[in-house]
Amino acid sequence: MDQKQKTLIVIAGPTAVGKTALAIELAKHYQTEIVSADSRQFFREMNIGTAKPTDDELAEAKHWFVNSHTVTEDYNVGDFEQDGLRALDEIFATHDMAILAGGSGLYIKAICEGFDDLPSTNKFIRAELNTTIEEKGLAFLQEELKTADPVYYAQVDINNPHRVIRALEVIRETGKPFSLFRTANVRHRSFHIVKIALNLPREVLYDRINQRVDLMMEQGLLKEVTSLLPYRDYNALNTVGYSELFDYLDGQSDLPTAIALIKQNTRRFAKRQITWFNRDKDFTWFEPGQVDEIIKHIDLS
């Protein structure tokens, strides 16, 4: 069949909204496979804190990029664009539909539109920046970025240390603003794309987030984080649910405070995700229970 007749269904939205359940339901309905666009579910060592699909859920539909890498690998959005497109080629070889599901907006953008080709940087620059953030804090690097590239500073989530460090790596390596390398050129894809975003009333979503964190703690999140202490400096572990418990294990907070911070930071993360997907007017928004309406929308798109 003509490749241009293939359709990629994107399922996006904030954490804990129900993306996994919907993606599996759609995968079964369309008899196809799921590509994960959750940048932390890639890593085998991170299970509880990333809310990975359960073994039963993984058995219901094939998932690509769940448990595909280790935290010690330097795996970035550029790598994912290449690998994800290869995975879609394989899926489309035998299926007319494929599903891309997750909450990592940058990774979804990479598959749907392409990602800018950024220059490679010296690993010692990253090491120096990581040392700076440990010794002087994120605010120090935020100020450096604000001075060096006010355009990108106004666009980026400045509270995400990985984004700040990545921009400063390129700036220090090239002597040019990071924003100059972000061309925003949309690359043509040979498949049709239908974008679905999920949301819930804020109080419902926040309650689900709080309950999920409590469940993660019951399932052994603290034990998982403790086992990952030797790897804490890897970028994969610089994320909500892990950072707060590392601080607890360092004696910087008590456990109730750490849990409360995980909930608070996850709610803030969910808010940023909603803002990100709202900027893309190609998304059509639904509540996760509107499965029949979502299928009808996909079939008519």
> If the chain, 301 residues long, is cut into consecutive pieces of 10 residues, what is the mean pLDDT of each piece?
75 97 98 96 95 94 96 86 96 97 91 78 84 89 94 84 89 86 74 98 98 97 97 88 96 97 95 92 97 97 92
Tell me the whole-structure pTM to 2 decimals: 0.81
The CB-side HSE value for 261 (13 A sphere, CA atoms) comes to 17
Which residue, 202, 196, 205, is CA-closest to 280? 196
Same domain as 161, residue 13: no
128 falls within a domain = no
88 falls within a domain = yes
Of the residues 181, 197, 220, the one at which a domain ends? 181
Same domain as 142, residue 107: no
Tens digit of each residue's pLDDT (9 = 90 or more) over 115-126: 666 777 777 888
Same domain as 196, residue 160: no
Same domain as 288, residue 174: no
CA 72 to chain centre: 18
CATH number, domain containing residue 229: 3.40.50.300
231 falls within a domain = yes
Q: What is the strand order of the sheet 97-101 is part of?
A: 63-64, 34-36, 97-101, 7-12, 192-198, 283-286
d(CA 14, CA 276): 10
Q: Which strand (E) or helix (H) includes residue 100? A: strand 97-101
Of the residues 163, 181, 199, the one at which a domain ends? 181
Are the C-beta atoms of 42 and 78 separated by less than 8 Å?
no
Tens digit of each residue's pLDDT (9 = 90 or more) over 83-101: 999 999 999 999 999 999 9
Same domain as 196, residue 176: no
129 falls within a domain = no
126 falls within a domain = no
Same domain as 103, residue 151: no
Domain of residue 263: give its range. 3-115+185-300
127 falls within a domain = no
Same domain as 191, residue 168: no
120 falls within a domain = no
Same domain as 35, residue 145: no
**Overall number of domains in the chain:** 2
d(CA 98, CA 26): 9
Q: What is the predicted pLDDT for the residue at 2? A: 44
Of the residues 156, 181, 206, the one at which a domain ends? 181
d(CA 59, CA 34): 12
Q: What is the predicted pLDDT for the residue at 161? A: 86
Q: What is the predicted pLDDT for the residue at 3? A: 43
Same domain as 212, residue 155: no
Q: Which strand (E) or helix (H) includes residue 60? A: helix 55-60
Same domain as 58, residue 93: yes
295 falls within a domain = yes
Same domain as 151, residue 233: no
Q: What is the predicted pLDDT for the residue at 184? A: 58
Same domain as 224, residue 161: no
d(CA 222, CA 228): 10
Place of tokens 């608070």: 264
